[in-house]
Amino acid sequence: MADKALTMLDLFAGAGGLSEGLSEAGFHSLFASEIVPTYAETYRQNHPSAEVLTADIRTVDAEDVRKRLGIEKGELDLLAGGPPCQGFSINAPVRSVLDQRNHLFKEYLRFVDAFAPRAVLIENVPGLVSFEHGATLHAILEALSQLGYGADVRILGAAYYGVPQMRWRTIIIGTRGKQLPASAFPEPTYHAPIKPNFTTTFNGQMLVKLPSVEASTHFTTVEEAIGDLPPLKAGEKGERVKDYYCEPTCDYQRRLRIGSSGVYNHEAPRLSKVNMERLKYIKPGGNWTDIPEDMLPKGMQRANKGDHTKRYGRVTPDGLASTILTKCDPHWGAYFHYNQDRSFTVREAARIQSFPDHYVFTGSQAEQFAQVGNAVPPMLATAVGLAIKSVLEGDN
Q: State residue 71's pLDDT score.
A: 96
How much is the pTM?
A: 0.93
In a domain, 246, yes or no: no
Residue 121: closest CA among 12, 254, 265: 12
In a domain, 299, yes or no: no
Query: CA-CA distance, 193 to 286, in Å (whole number)?
Result: 17
Is 345's pLDDT higher than 60?
A: yes
In a domain, 222, yes or no: no
Burial of residue 164 (number of CB atoms within 10 Å: 0-12, 13-18, 19+):
buried
CA angle centred on 81, ends 383 and 28, rounded to 5°? 60
What type of residue is 147?
A: L
Q: State residue 109's pLDDT score.
A: 87
Decide if 43 contacts 13 (C-beta within 8 A).
yes
Query: CA-CA distance, 322 to 338, in Å (whole number)?
Result: 13
For the chain, what percent of residues have pLDDT higher than 70? Answer: 94
List C-alpha distances in Å: 191 to 119, 161, 169, 217, 226. Answer: 29, 9, 17, 5, 20
1: pLDDT confidence band, cut at 50, 70 and 90?
very low
Average pLDDT, the chain: 91
Q: State residue 107's pLDDT score.
A: 86
Over the stretch 124-156, which tens digit does the pLDDT of each residue have? 988 888 877 888 788 888 889 999 999 999 999
Encode the chain in three state secondary structure.
Answer: CCCCCEEEEEECCCCCHHHHHHHHCCEEEEEEEECCHHHHHHHHHHCCCCEEEECCHHHCCHHHHHHHHCCCCCCCCEEEECCCCCCCCCCCCCCCCCCHHHHCHHHHHHHHHHHCCCEEEEEECHHHCCHHHHHHHHHHHHHHHHCCEEEEEEEEEHHHHCCCECCEEEEEEEEECCCCCHHHCCCCCECCCCCCCCCCEECCEECECCCCCCCECCCCCHHHHHCCCCCCCCCCCCCCCECCCCCCCCHHHHHHCCCCCCECCCCCCCCCHHHHHHHCCCCCCCCHHHCCHHHCCHHHHCCCCCCCCCCCCECCCCCCECCCCCCCCCCCCCCECCCCCCECCHHHHHHHCCCCCCCCCCCCHHHHHHHHHHCCCHHHHHHHHHHHHHHHHHHC
| Residue 135 or residue 366, greater confidence | 366
Over the stretch 82-105, which tens digit does the pLDDT of each residue have? 976 434 334 444 445 555 555 687
Q: State residue 143's pLDDT score.
A: 87
Please compute the mean of the pLDDT values over residues 270-285 and round it to a whole number.
95
In a domain, 87, yes or no: yes
Residue-range definition of the domain harbouring residue 153: 6-216+377-391
Is 369's pLDDT higher than 50?
A: yes
In a domain, 356, yes or no: no
Query: CA-CA distance, 238 to 284, in Å (whole number)?
Result: 26
Number of structural domains in the chain: 1
Query: CA-CA distance, 327 to 335, in Å (whole number)?
Result: 9
**Looking at residue 46, which CATH number applies to its domain?**
3.40.50.150
Please compute the mean of the pLDDT values over residues 262-269 and round it to a whole number.
98
Over the stretch 377-391, which tens digit does the pLDDT of each residue have? 999 999 999 999 999
Query: CA-CA distance, 71 to 8, in Å (whole number)?
Result: 11
In a domain, 358, yes or no: no
Over the stretch 4-32, which tens digit does the pLDDT of each residue have? 789 999 999 999 999 999 999 999 999 99
Q: Which of 7-16, 111-120, 288-297 is least confident? A: 288-297
Query: CA-CA distance, 163 to 380, in Å (whole number)?
Result: 7
In a domain, 267, yes or no: no
What type of residue is 255?
A: R
Is 396's pLDDT higher than 80?
A: no
Please compute the mean of the pLDDT values over residues 355-360 and round it to a whole number.
98
Helix orientation angle between 17-24 and 378-395, rounded to the nearest 10 degrees: 50
Query: CA-CA distance, 175 to 167, in Å (whole number)?
Result: 26
Decide if 389 contacts 6 (C-beta within 8 A).
yes
In a domain, 35, yes or no: yes
Please compute the mean of the pLDDT values over residues 163-171 and round it to a whole number.
96
- Look up 250 and say whether it is catalytic: no
Decide if 147 contacts 139 (C-beta within 8 A).
no
| Residue 368 or residue 84, greater confidence | 368
